[in-house]
Structure 1
Amino acid sequence: MAKPVVVFGSFVVDLMARADHLPVPGETVKSDLFKMGPGGKGFNQAVAAKRAGAEVEMVTKLGKDSFANVCLEMMEGEGMDRSHVFVTDKASTGAALIMVDEHTSQNQILVTLGACSTFDDADIAQVTPLIEGAGILLTQLETNVDAVEKVIDIAHRSGTTVVLNTAPVQPITDEMLRQVDVITPNEVEASILTGVEIKTPDDALKAAQVFLDKGVGQVVITLGKQGVLAVTPQRHQLFGNYDVPVLDTTGAGDAFNGGFVAALAEGKDLFAACAFGNAVSNLAVTKMGTSVAMPHRAEVDAFIAANGLMG
């Protein structure tokens, strides 16, 4: 029986508006559509993994406010265990301000982490047995990084596979990188963390080698319109995008990560898991929103049956 995927990460409420174009500094732009809903990189990835078929345990932290209910109600509706959701009165539930260009589907995001920046040792002690018993730990950099370092260390020492999505990008130590089994940056994050300017898949391959040299086990770099590059010390493969109608790219990376770890949890290797995650991501961008846009397994299977797998 497959062990669960533990997602240690953020929840924020997404406040999304779409407009004719994104504002430049000092400009006010009239929006044609506003929506509020559940989000946060950790939460989005957990929902994506759950809908893709994984057994998921979500660890996040909320404030004592009305925004917290957005998380709890979504988890209940998705059939997700809420016993590892912490609540604090020291900070509010996180929020993200998202602006989307309705013509290009490009976005700009400003996130306030709130409660998710307050994980402490007591919280981590409570979830240590959960992490130790997991098959995969998926985490990001959208909580306080000292907590991320500690849960990665627990997972690494326990033999739990560590998948690190380096968003939003910030400095991380080489010591932590040596404990990461799979790192999943996008091209901007990979450029910042390795010093390699990425414009092409060949550039991404050079950046991936920097990660491997630092001790990361395997590397997956998402390249937006250019697809996804998967790299091991022995092999690399580029997975192109499907020809789908793109509506909203906001949760694309999260959809990929969720689908990717769901496939890993089923026993697929890195490359097969990337192909599956790529299909999940391409489906997600055809819908509006983040968590709510994540496709269910039946949708993914039907999409793959109709279109095959890239790569």
Structure 2
Amino acid sequence: MSRLVILGSANADHVMSFEYLPAPGQTLMSKDYRFEHGGKGANQAVACARLCQAGNRIDFICHLGADGIADQMCQSWHDDGIHSDGITKVNGLSTGTAMIFVGANGENSIGVSLGANASMTTEALEKHQTLLAQADWFLVQLETPTTTVAQALKSAKKHGANTLLNPAPATVLGTEIYRWVDIITPNETEAEAITGIEVCDENTARLAAQMLHQLGPETVIITLGSRGAYLSCSEFEGVVAGVDVKPVDTVAAGDTFNGALMVALSENLAMRDAVEFANRAAAIAVTRPGAQRSIPYRHEL
């Protein structure tokens, strides 16, 4: 049995759909509105739970508000098989919230209010040290405070976990954090934010990957949307092609990719095979509307 631990955000997503995304100062009438359970951390935890084989354990470390939305989320995660040991409801704070605009071509713009996610401080992390110490694989993103992300990576790595950092949303980080990262998975925008290199083709992806290696991670995976992912590791360097599908909604595509990647690696798939597995999972997710409800189950792959 492998223990997969995810630390990150959980958000209540309010989603509006448009023919095209509004420009600054422009008001558009939404075609529809829906409420979703989201947040990068929660999405990735759900992807792990739905895609892993029976017997593996999924733990999610997060902070929620003490509200009805949090109760709904916890029940949904329980139904997917996620353990609740790492989930804390914080009195006086609201569950994180995201406002998501989706265009007809599947592209999206997202604004996030962290809410209880912001209270996941390094002090709050202390009570989860047992989970970090027991992790075989550890995955984290950047919708919780970066000091906490760095401390969690350091703790998990020191206890022998394989560590994955999905540096999303794009932000500038201190170089110290990368010492504790085995695998880093930025998209093109995030890779540029870290390296200063605009990733627009395979050559620029290679240059960005080389710079990311210099920071510390042994494996670099730059996700390229419908084109797949650029993989740079000891056994392969190049583009691992994506699956050709007609996108409906790209929300949670990257999160599905990251959760699927960790699942595949925990099952001892070779790195390139793991990226192909993750590409297939993400391809299914973009053909469906929504965040967590778009994430596929193992049998669908």
Query: Normalised by the shorter chain, which TM-score bucket?
Result: over 0.9
Is the counterpart of residue 145 in structure 1 residue 146 in structure 2? yes
Distance 2:243 2:81 in 1: 30
Q: SS of the residue aligned with 2:180?
A: coil
Distance 1:235 1:211 in 2: 16
Amino acid at match of 1:4: R
Structure 2 counterpart of 1:277: 278
Structure 2 counterpart of 1:62: 64
1:44-93: CA deviation from partner (whole Å, max 9, x where unpaired): 01101111115311111001122212311211221221221011124211
Q: 1:234 offset after TM fit, Å?
A: 5.4
8 Å Cα contact 1:64-1:92 kept in structure 2: yes
1:5-51: CA deviation from partner (whole Å, max 9, x where unpaired): 10000000111111112111222111111110110000001101111
Structure 2 counterpart of 1:87: 89
Task: Note the 1:134-173 alignment, pairs <5 A.
Answer: 134-173=135-174
Distance 2:40 2:160 in 1: 24
Structure 2 counterpart of 1:210: 211
Distance 2:200 2:26 in 1: 30
Is the counterpart of residue 114 in structure 1 residue 130 in structure 2? no
8 Å Cα contact 2:121-2:145 kept in structure 1: no
Distance 2:166 2:205 in 1: 16
8 Å Cα contact 1:5-1:57 kept in structure 2: yes
8 Å Cα contact 1:174-1:214 kept in structure 2: yes
Distance 1:215 1:68 in 2: 36
Is the counterpart of residue 36 in structure 1 residue 38 in structure 2? no
8 Å Cα contact 1:9-1:140 kept in structure 2: yes
Q: 1:226 offset after TM fit, Å?
A: 2.2
8 Å Cα contact 1:37-1:70 kept in structure 2: no
Q: 1:122 offset after TM fit, Å?
A: 4.1
Is the counterpart of residue 259 in structure 1 residue 257 in structure 2? no
Q: 1:260 offset after TM fit, Å?
A: 0.4
Structure 2 counterpart of 1:305: none
Q: 1:113 offset after TM fit, Å?
A: 1.1
Q: 1:156 offset after TM fit, Å?
A: 1.4
Q: SS of the residue aligned with 1:247?
A: coil
Amino acid at match of 1:205: R
Runs of 4+, deviation exceeding 3 Å: none
8 Å Cα contact 2:230-2:237 kept in structure 1: yes
| TM-score, structure 1 as length reference | 0.93
Q: 1:233 offset after TM fit, Å?
A: 4.5
Structure 2 counterpart of 1:21: 20
Structure 2 residue ranges without an equivalent (≥5): none
1:89-129: CA deviation from partner (whole Å, max 9, x where unpaired): 24211011000012x11110001111111113443122111
Distance 1:155 1:148 in 2: 11
8 Å Cα contact 1:86-1:123 kept in structure 2: no
Distance 2:175 2:152 in 1: 16
8 Å Cα contact 1:237-1:271 kept in structure 2: no
| TM-score, structure 2 as length reference | 0.96
Distance 1:185 1:120 in 2: 23
Q: SS of the residue aligned with 1:238?
A: strand
Structure 2 counterpart of 1:309: none
